[in-house]
Amino acid sequence: MTTAVADAHLAHDAEHHGPPAGWRRWVFSTNHKDIGTMYLVFSLLMFMIGGALALAIRAELFSPGLQFVEPHFFNQLTTMHALIMIFGAVMPAMVGLANWMIPLQIGAPDMALPRMNNLSFWILPFAFTLLLSTFFMDGGAAAGGWTMYPPLALQAGDSFPFTIFSIHLMGMSSIMGAINVIVTILNMRAPDMTLLKMPMFVWGWLITAYLLLAVMPVLAGAVTMLLTDQFFGTSFFLAAGGGDPVMYQHIFWFFGHPEVYIMILPAFGIVSEVIPTFARKPLFGHESMVYAMSCIAFLSFVVWAHHMFTVGMPLTGQLFFMFATMLIAVPTGVKVFNWTATMWRGSMTFETPMLFAIAFLFLFTIGGFSGLMVAIVPADIQYHDSYFVVAHFHYVLVPGSVFAIFAAVYYWLPKWTGTMYNEKLGKLHFWLSTIFVNILFFPMHFLGLAGMPRRIPDYSTQFADFNAVATIGAIGFGLSQLIFIWVVIQAIRGKGERASAKVWDNPKGLEWTVPSPAPHHTFETPPKVSTEVAFQ
């Protein structure tokens, strides 16, 4: 471990006296804080683009009949909205937080592989420029859904190979990010920080990184087979050539289900950091939290086919995947109970990060409930591919992952910028987001149960009312995010109170032992993990 620290140290000798000025600082950066910032800014940009696509979708769905877009373009919107939000917004935001916080939380001077860190970020702008450029190609962007099921996905225009290549690029970026996280955590912790003493955000990310390493190559394989089916005469997934279209779905969801946890495990980590700080109480069940996350990660590999209950699997297969899926409720329940027990008999205050963490607690749980419902195969036959499912995964992703990211940004923004964000505006952002996110997604449960399929640009008049409500929610939610951007910009510009090193009322963790804003280089000598900052 000492060698690793020393090596990383040497790599930074050149820029010991602060960052280079101008664009070089960002393009050539090997600094985990600058790269973290770039990841976060990039993900915010993608959040806005993906959100704009979502608003176009909701505008079209405001009332029955086609008003704004043609069906084919609508399918491009839904497909690209998903790809951008998953791979462009949520995942890079989590990686950005990992870059900023993991070295600070484990007392490391930087990420273990700083140059690879630079590469894994700078791949992303190219990947997404490529992906977004497909909108302007002959035949438009990918329109077969983000799941890209063949044979439909193969009925694409010129965009097809570009979409696949951009997914390859995103995969490479994720894999390198994951390697960096694992190597950093395993080799560069402060001397007294044993694995079980690690902060929960670091734990969440360690498990996430292993999931990424395991499944991103699987996605790459699946889309490569699509590519060869299209251009090189193979028939992996084409029934006419002896292939199997269902095999694609098995391979895709073997990636896809762990992917879901890739987006939520770091969020679990964030919430486990925020709640103890504002409850002024240690996290309840530190170890059981770790076991629960590991359990969820393990189970995520044996539940993939619950996305495929209508493809026609053998009875025993359906039973297995139903039972395995239901089991996930147990460790997830443990986590929710632990967070509740952390708040129990605490001394709570409700600053913006805590508000978002609490909203996460309530609304992620609602997403968990609908998750339990969709596990029940006979009922899922009704829910599958209906708006009920849309409601379910948006509940776990938006007031789940995205709210956790908001909580993290408000929680650590003073540490990053040295300036306290505007608490009043932060709270306004919270309340508007929370109210509108429910107006947006809750009616979708009703729509799905009443029989509205997902991914349709137009619908029968009986679905009109709740669709109108959802669209109003979408506009409100979208506009509320402008407050967030303003708050962040103001904090970056230093408009606000100076933040102290601790920022909050006696928070635990090494990140609070460095000044705010965190200097360009921190922990050049490994810190001592005193009882004051330790988690156990």
Partner 1 sequence: MTRRLLLGLALLIAAGSASADWAINMPQGVSEMSLQTYRLHMQVFWWCVAIGIVVFAVMIYTMVKHRRSRGHQAAQFHHNTKLEVVWTAIPVLILLIMAVPAAETLVELEYNQNPDLTVVVTGYQWRWHYDYPDHDISFFSSLDARSNQARRKRSGIDPYQVENYLLEVDNPLVVPRGAKVRVLITSKDVIHAWWVPALAIKKDAIPGFMNAVWFRAEESGTYRGQCAELCGMDHAYMPVVVEVVEPEAFAAWVEAQRGGEAAQAASDQAAAATRIAARHDIAGD
Question: 20 vs 453, which CB is nearer to partner 1?
Answer: 453
**Residue 489, interface with partner 1 (CB under 8 A)?**
no
Would you give the binding string for partner 1 spanning residues 7-26, x where CB under 8 A is met?
--------------------
Rounded CA-CA distance 527/510 in Å is 8
Query: Among residues 392, 381, 419, which one has the least CA distance to residue 495?
Result: 419
Token pair in block for residue 62: 């405001």
Residues 6+ away with beta carbon under 8 Å from 533: 508, 509, 510, 512, 513
Residues 6+ away with beta carbon under 8 Å from 349: 278, 505
CB of 301 to partner 1, least distance (A): 20
With CB under 8 A as the contact rule, the residue among 166, 434, 480, 522 that binds partner 1 is: 434
Stretch that binds partner 1, among 23-31, 80-88, 151-159, 164-172 (CB under 8 A): 151-159
**Window 378 to 417, contacts with partner 1 (CB under 8 A):** 378-379, 381-382, 384-386
- Residue 132 burial (10 A CB sphere; 0-12, 13-18, 19+): middle
**Window 70 to 129, contacts with partner 1 (CB under 8 A):** 70-72, 75
Q: Would you say 363 and 403 are in contact if contact means Cβ atoms under 8 Å apart? A: yes
Token pair in block for residue 3: 């060698």
Which contacts of 429-433 are long-range, i.e. CB under 8 A and separated by 24 or more positions? 429/352, 429/480, 429/481, 429/483, 429/484, 429/487, 430/352, 430/355, 430/356, 430/359, 430/406, 432/476, 432/477, 432/479, 432/480, 432/483, 433/403, 433/406, 433/477, 433/480, 433/481, 433/484
CB of 121 to partner 1, least distance (A): 33
Rounded CA-CA distance 224/229 in Å is 9
326 φ, ψ to 5°? -60, -35
With CB under 8 A as the contact rule, the residue among 20, 139, 151, 221 that binds partner 1 is: 151
CB of 327 to partner 1, least distance (A): 7
Stretch that binds partner 1, among 92-100, 322-330, 496-504, 513-521 (CB under 8 A): 322-330
Question: 9 vs 280, which CB is nearer to partner 1?
Answer: 280
Strand, coil or helix: 141: coil
**Residue 194, interface with partner 1 (CB under 8 A)?**
no
With CB under 8 A as the contact rule, the residue among 93, 219, 222, 366 that binds partner 1 is: 366
Rounded CA-CA distance 402/359 in Å is 11
**Window 439 to 458, contacts with partner 1 (CB under 8 A):** 439, 442-443, 445-446, 449-451, 453-458
| Structure letter (DSSP) for residue 237 | S
With CB under 8 A as the contact rule, the residue among 19, 20, 64, 478 that binds partner 1 is: 64
Q: Would you say 405 and 93 are in contact if contact means Cβ atoms under 8 Å apart? A: yes
Question: 39 vs 535, which CB is nearer to partner 1?
Answer: 535
**Residue 460, interface with partner 1 (CB under 8 A)?**
yes
Across-strand partners of 498? Answer: 419
With CB under 8 A as the contact rule, the residue among 143, 264, 402, 491 that binds partner 1 is: 143
Question: 65 vs 217, which CB is nearer to partner 1?
Answer: 65
Residues designated catalytic: 81, 110, 146, 173-174, 257, 259, 261, 272, 306-307, 332, 335, 454
Stretch that binds partner 1, among 97-105, 137-145, 297-305, 514-522 (CB under 8 A): 137-145
498 φ, ψ to 5°? -70, 140
Question: 88 vs 443, which CB is nearer to partner 1?
Answer: 443
Stretch that binds partner 1, among 37-45, 128-136, 433-441, 480-488 (CB under 8 A): 433-441
**Residue 534, interface with partner 1 (CB under 8 A)?**
no
CB of 324 to partner 1, least distance (A): 11
Determine if residue 411 is left, alpha or beta; phi over 0 gives left, psi from -120 to 50 gives alpha, anything else beta. alpha
CB of 32 to partner 1, least distance (A): 30
**Window 248 to 307, contacts with partner 1 (CB under 8 A):** 279-288
Question: 281 vs 427, which CB is nearer to partner 1?
Answer: 281
CB of 75 to partner 1, least distance (A): 7
With CB under 8 A as the contact rule, the residue among 369, 486, 498, 500 that binds partner 1 is: 369
**Residue 244, interface with partner 1 (CB under 8 A)?**
yes
Question: 322 vs 499, which CB is nearer to partner 1?
Answer: 322
**Window 323 to 352, contacts with partner 1 (CB under 8 A):** 323, 326-327, 329-330, 333-334, 336-337, 340-341, 343-350
Give the total of residues touching partner 1 (CB under 8 A).
101
CB of 36 to partner 1, least distance (A): 30
Q: How many other β-carbons are positioned within 10 Å of the β-carbon of residue 98?
A: 30
Strand, coil or helix: 374: helix
User: Cα dihedral angle (389, 407, 213, 51), rounded to 10 degrees?
Assistant: 50
Q: Would you say 454 and 391 are in contact if contact means Cβ atoms under 8 Å apart? A: no
Residues 6+ away with beta carbon under 8 Å from 228: 234, 236
With CB under 8 A as the contact rule, the residue among 372, 472, 483, 534 that binds partner 1 is: 372
Q: How far is CA 230 from the centre of its chain?
A: 31
**Residue 490, interface with partner 1 (CB under 8 A)?**
no
Question: 269 vs 443, which CB is nearer to partner 1?
Answer: 443
